[in-house]
Amino acid sequence: MGTAQRNRVLIGKPGLDGHDRGAKFIAQALRDAGFEVVYTGIRRSPEEIAAAAVQEDVAAVGLSSLSGAHMRLFPAVVEALKKAGAPDIPVLGGGVIPEEDIVALKEAGIVEIFTPGTPIDTIISAYRAACEKQPPG
């Protein structure tokens, strides 16, 4: 069973990096596009993000990391979601992420990666698409 609300997403920042301008911008833009955005703030562990995503029953999780720790942290969130019994919540990520890493991250189950300069409309559409992909109840 599963009908996560189609417009409910979680935006979080795993790791220690405190530069949340990007994450907040995405949160605000999603709000203005009609999403309900559960915002968890900075310095969250992958487990905390996963637990919050499950409780809040979001349709997608968005992560941001600018410190270069994305290769460790993004896949860790995917794993944590699996462990928390929510393997079908899609994870999207953004940040300063080199091309090679994008390939590896997608293999690790991150559905979309955005780098600086990606138009916000592209990002919003991607979230919308990710939410739609949730298996209907």
Exposure of 8 by Cβ count < 10 A (0-12 exposed, 13-18 middle, 19+ buried)? middle
x/- binding map, residues 30-69, to another protein, per CB under 8 A?
xxxxxxxxxxxxxxxx-xx--xx-xxxx---------xxx
Among 17, 113, 130, 131, binds another protein (CB under 8 A): 17
Other CB atoms closer than 10 Å to residue 114's CB: what's the count?
21
Q: Binding residue for another protein (CB under 8 A) from 104, 108, 111, 120?
A: 120
Q: Which of 82, 108, 115, 129 binds another protein (CB under 8 A)?
A: 115
Asked whether position 90 contacts another protein by CB under 8 A, the answer is no
**Any idea how long the chain is?**
137
* Number of C-beta neighbours around residue 62 at 10 A: 27
C-beta of 111: minimal distance to another protein in Å? 21
